Homo-oligomer: A and B are copies of this chain.
Amino acid sequence: MKKFLNTPETLLVDALRGLAAAHPELRVDVDRRIITRADGPRRGKVGLVSGGGSGHEPLHGGFVGPGMLDAACPGEIFTSPVPDQILAATRAVSGGAGVVYIVKNYTGDVMNFQMATELATDERIATETVLVNDDVAVKDSTWTAGRRGTGATVFVEKIAGARAERGASLREVAELARRVNAASRSFAVALTACTTPAAGKPGFDLPDDEIEVGVGIHGEPGRSREKVRSAKQIVAGALDAILSDRPLTPADQPIVMVNGLGATPLIELYVLFGEVAAVLSGHGVRVARALVGNYITSLDMAGASITVCGADDELIALWDAPVRTPGLRWGV
């Protein structure tokens, strides 16, 4: 295993120190592992908190800032944050209007955010939990009952964040976030496994001429192992899975993300995006907004995911609203 790190044990803390040094506009509590906006909490604003295992950067810490999250709670690599940590983040962003938890559907995350909800309720902080479960590849998975939560998390955090920024009630923000999740579907393909620093070796074996189709963001198995195929064929398969589950019509204004899983060059992501746009065009659907790059990764996995959100005027306007975070930034 070759990685840029000091020790596997200090990887998260060392990375948080780097995040703090690079982004003075964030407040990074390295000891408690909480990343918040330096200008928070904002009185009367609904707070948005997300979190999950580390190893998916820029998600979630890289999406903290005006127009997106108020706080992120990173766990250890591929490990859920703990309830006390989530509670501390909740307190840190509570401005009296309640707090929305955005939770990717993994059993550990769901359980720990549920426990944090109970702790917050004891402190009279109202919360709403929004579960993201957009990955159409498999029904249940290694660490999941039901669909896994993956790329749609980026859309939910951005769009709900914009709505909260403009002023909306706890219920309104949560319902909008659920609507974004319901309109979104994802599918991922791995060319290689990822290596966690603790394990020191790839999480699964994949022959030199095979790909894992429908892989999860921790390397969970997908639908099938298949022989290497062209970008066009890979995209056709992924979009078939996505669109058969949630069809698009020419009236939709899809937001489309082609996301690298960590070790995939940008030039390859653009090849994939070109194929996605071509397939959608064949369905009479035009991409309304595009995001191509590394947004929700899986350490050093070579692979890519495609996420499609069937958006409308309201969601597009919120997508376009100003955002200022390390991972997504425009309009400011």
B-contacting residues of A (Cβ < 8 Å)?
2-7, 11-12, 14-23, 54-55, 57-58, 62, 191-192, 208-209, 211, 228, 230-232, 234, 262-275, 277-278, 287, 290, 292, 294, 297, 299-300, 302, 304, 324, 326, 329-332
A282 to chain B, nearest CB (A): 13
Q: A57-B266, A62-B266, A267-B11 are in contact. Are A272 and B231 (CB under 8 A)?
A: no
Q: Indicate if the CB atoms of B267 and A21 lie closer than 8 Å.
A: no
Q: Closest B-chain residue to A19, C-beta based?
A: B270
So how many copies of this chain end up in the complex?
A: 2
Q: Most B CB atoms within 10 A — which of A11, A16, A211, A266?
A: A266
Across-interface contacts of A290 in B (CB, < 8 A): 21-23
Across-interface contacts of A11 in B (CB, < 8 A): 267, 271
Contact of A22 among B18, B267, B270 (CB under 8 A): B270
* Measured CA separation A148–B287 after assembly (Å): 39
Contact of A192 among B2, B5, B332 (CB under 8 A): B2
Q: Most B CB atoms within 10 A — which of A2, A191, A304, A332?
A: A2
Q: Indicate if the CB atoms of A274 and B191 lie closer than 8 Å.
A: no
A182 to chain B, nearest CB (A): 25
Q: Indicate if the CB atoms of A297 and B15 lie closer than 8 Å.
A: no
Secondary structure of the A contact surface, majority rule:
mixed
A39 to chain B, nearest CB (A): 17
Q: A14-B231, A266-B62, A274-B15 are in contact. Are A22 and B292 (CB under 8 A)?
A: yes
Q: Indicate if the CB atoms of B270 and A211 lie closer than 8 Å.
A: no
Q: Closest B-chain residue to A303, C-beta based?
A: B4
Q: Closest B-chain residue to A274, C-beta based?
A: B18
Kindly list 11 other residue pairs between chains A and B, CB separation below 8 angstroms, not including A6-B271, A292-B326.
A2-B191, A4-B272, A4-B304, A15-B268, A17-B274, A19-B270, A20-B274, A21-B274, A21-B277, A22-B270, A22-B292
Q: Indicate if the CB atoms of A58 and B4 lie closer than 8 Å.
A: no
Q: Most B CB atoms within 10 A — which of A4, A5, A262, A297?
A: A4
Contact of A5 among B62, B271, B332 (CB under 8 A): B271
